[in-house]
C-alpha cells in the first residue's frame, strides 16, 4: 500500500508525493526541490550585472518542536543559497554583456569567497580617528553578532579615555588599510549587550558572553552570512576551528584572518591543566558553562586579540542545501598563556546561553524551550 508523506503546503519547497516511509526522502531529492524552488523564473531588473537586488522565494520552515536558533539556521542558509544560485544566473547573463566573468584574485592565488563568512572584527575609533580591532565576533543573524562580554572594556587596557567598541567589520579576511585587499563592510554598533549575570570587570572570567546589536542589517551574501549555533552536548574526542586576527607566534597582531584546528578537552582533563591557575576573578576554576580546547603541545591556541571570536565546527548545510556551514560551539574567553604546552584556552559554552541568545535576538518568535 502506498501513502503520501509530504504535503506541498507544509514542506516549503516544490514538493513531490513520495511513497512508503519518510526515510526515503534522500538528500538528493531535497537538493532538487530546493534548487527548483530557487530557480523559478524571476525577471531581471533590467540590468543582469546589478545583482544587489535579487528577489527570491522565501523559505517555509516548520517551528513545531524545534529551537528558534535551529529554525533561523535553516532560514539564513536558504537565503545564502538563494543568493549564490541567483548570482550564477545573473553572472551568466552579465557575461554576455561584459564579454567575460569577473574573478577575485589576490597575490596570484584565487581567493575563495565565503571562508568563515560569519567572522566580524570588533573595532574602536581612536582619538586620531583611526580604527583598532581588539576582539572578534560571530554574525548569528542579520542584526546581531556574538562575542565575549569582556570585549566591552578591552580598549581600556590601551586607551583609558575610550569606552565601548564602535563598529564591527564584516566581509573581509583582511582588516588593514590596503585598498587592494577588497572593501570590507563596517557597521556601527547600536547596543553592546552583556549577559545579565556577568560582572562588569574586564578580568572577570564567568558568564563572559555578549551580543552586539548592529545599527543596520547585514545583507546575506557568500562572504557575509550568519553562522549557526550549536545546541547539543559537547561529547568527547572532537576537534574544531578557531579563527581570529590576534597575536601570531612572532608576537605581532595579524591583519589577516588566521585559523587553526584545536582539540576539545573533557572536563576532568581541562581542570587538571587549568584549575591551578585560579584567582579572585576565577575563584571557582572551571564551571559548567566553560570548557577547554587547544593542543597539548601548544602548537595551536587563541591569543590576545582573538577574544570574542568563535570556536566552530563545520557541518553539512541544513535542508539538504549543498555545501557546509560553521556551527559556533564556543566563544573565546581567556587563556592562561599563548601557545604554551599543557595550558589550553578556556571557552564559553554557547549551548548554556541559548535561551538568553534566542530571546534577545529573535524576541518575536515563539520559544517552547525557554519559558
**Of residues 325, 343, 326, the one with CA closest to residue 334:** 343
**Catalytic member of 77, 79, 141, 150:** 150
Calpha distance 134→347 (Å, rounded): 17
Calpha distance 327→311 (Å, rounded): 9
**Catalytic member of 138, 172, 208, 326:** 208
Q: Are strands 324-334 and 228-229 parallel, antiparallel or unpaired?
A: parallel
Cβ-based neighbours of 54, under 8 Å, separated by 6 or more: 42, 82, 83, 86, 87, 90
Active site residue 307: yes
- Grid-cell match 550585472, residue found: 49
Active site residue 150: yes
Q: How far is CA 198 from the centre of its chain?
A: 22
Calpha distance 256→122 (Å, rounded): 14
Burial 306-331 (b: 16+ CB within 10 A, else e): bbbbbbbbeeebbbbbeeebbbbbbb
CA distances from 232 to 73, 226, 326 (A): 14, 19, 14
Cell of 82: 538563494
Calpha distance 221→15 (Å, rounded): 26
Cell of 274: 587549568
- Grid-cell match 575563495, residue found: 112
**Phi, psi at residue 263, to the nearest 5°?**
-105, 145
**Catalytic member of 141, 172, 254, 307:** 307
**Phi, psi at residue 95, to the nearest 5°?**
-60, -30
Calpha distance 116→167 (Å, rounded): 19
Indicate which residues carry an active-site annotation: 150, 208, 307
Amino acid at each position: 500500500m502506498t501513502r503520501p508523506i509530504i504535503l506541498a503546503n507544509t514542506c516549503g519547497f516544490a514538493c513531490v508525493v513520495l511513497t512508503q516511509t519518510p526515510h526515503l526522502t534522500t538528500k538528493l531529492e531535497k537538493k532538487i526541490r530546493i534548487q527548483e524552488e530557487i530557480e523559478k523564473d524571476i525577471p531581471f531588473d533590467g540590468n543582469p550585472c546589478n545583482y544587489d537586488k535579487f528577489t527570491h522565494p522565501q523559505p517555509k520552515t516548520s517551528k513545531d518542536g524545534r529551537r528558534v536558533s535551529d529554525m533561523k539556521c535553516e532560514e539564513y542558509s536558504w537565503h545564502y543559497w538563494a543568493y549564490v544560485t541567483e548570482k550564477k544566473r545573473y553572472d551568466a547573463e552579465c557575461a554576455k554583456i561584459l564579454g567575460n566573468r569577473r574573478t577575485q584574485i589576490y597575490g596570484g592565488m584565487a581567493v575563495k569567497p565565503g571562508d568563515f563568512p560569519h567572522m566580524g572584527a570588533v573595532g574602536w575609533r581612536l582619538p586620531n580617528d583611526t580604527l583598532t580591532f581588539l576582539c572578534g565576533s560571530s554574525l548569528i543573524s542579520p542584526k546581531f553578532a556574538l562575542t565575549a562580554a569582556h570585549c566591552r572594556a578591552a580598549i581600556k587596557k590601551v586607551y583609558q579615555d575610550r569606552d565601548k567598541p564602535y563598529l564591527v567589520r564584516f566581509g573581509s579576511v583582511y582588516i588593514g588599510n590596503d585598498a587592494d585587499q577588497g572593501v570590507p563592510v563596517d557597521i556601527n554598533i547600536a547596543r553592546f549587550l552583556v549577559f545579565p549575570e556577568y560582572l562588569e570587570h574586564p578580568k572577570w572570567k564567568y558568564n563572559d558572553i555578549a551580543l552586539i546589536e548592529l545599527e543596520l542589517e547585514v545583507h546575506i551574501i557568500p562572504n557575509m552570512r550568519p553562522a549557526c549555533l550549536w545546541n547539543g552536548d559537547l561529547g568527547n574526542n572532537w576537534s574544531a576551528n578557531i579563527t581570529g586576527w590576534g597575536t601570531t607566534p612572532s608576537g605581532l597582531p595579524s591583519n589577516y584572518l588566521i585559523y587553526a584546528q584545536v582539540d576539545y578537552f573533557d572536563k576532568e582533563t581541562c581542570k587538571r591543566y587549568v584549575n591551578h591557575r585560579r584567582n579572585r576573578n576565577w575563584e571557582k576554576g572551571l564551571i559548567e558553562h566553560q570548557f577547554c580546547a587547544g593542543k597539548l603541545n601548544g602548537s595551536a591556541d587563541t591569543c590576545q586579540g582573538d577574544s570574542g571570536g568563535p570556536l566552530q565546527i563545520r557541518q553539512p548545510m541544513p535542508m539538504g542545501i549543498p555545501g557546509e556551514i560553521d556551527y559556533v560551539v564556543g566563544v573565546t574567553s581567556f587563556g592562561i598563556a599563548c601557545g604554551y604546552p599543557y595550558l589550553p584556552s578556556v571557552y564559553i559554552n554557547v549551548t548554556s546561553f541559548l535561551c538568553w541568545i534566542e530571546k534577545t535576538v529573535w524576541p518575536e518568535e515563539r520559544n517552547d524551550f525557554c519559558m
